[in-house]
Amino acid sequence: MFDHTPRTFIGTTSFRVEGMISGHCEWVVTTAIGALPGVDTVTVELSTGTVTVSAGQPLDRADIVTAVKEAGYTILV
């Protein structure tokens, strides 16, 4: 999945998500990721498809991928 990237992280990291075109999309992705244990903040930049996630405890990147996919969007990994 993430060839040269640690599976978990603490701090802030960004992902690219395809298919977000409106404030509703932003809300859906923010809510899906924000519900994961350990997530402190989620920021979405619609114009670039960038989703920035901050975590205060170890967070598994695979959980973020799953949350985004279950929300109906494509995450680039």
Each residue of 16-59: pLDDT tens digit? 999 999 999 999 999 999 999 999 999 999 999 999 999 999 99
Indicate the pLDDT class of residue 4, thresholds 50, 70 and 90: low
Alpha carbon distance 77, 74 (integer Å) = 9
CATH topology for the 8-76 domain? Alpha-Beta Plaits (3.30.70)
Domain ranges of the chain: 8-76
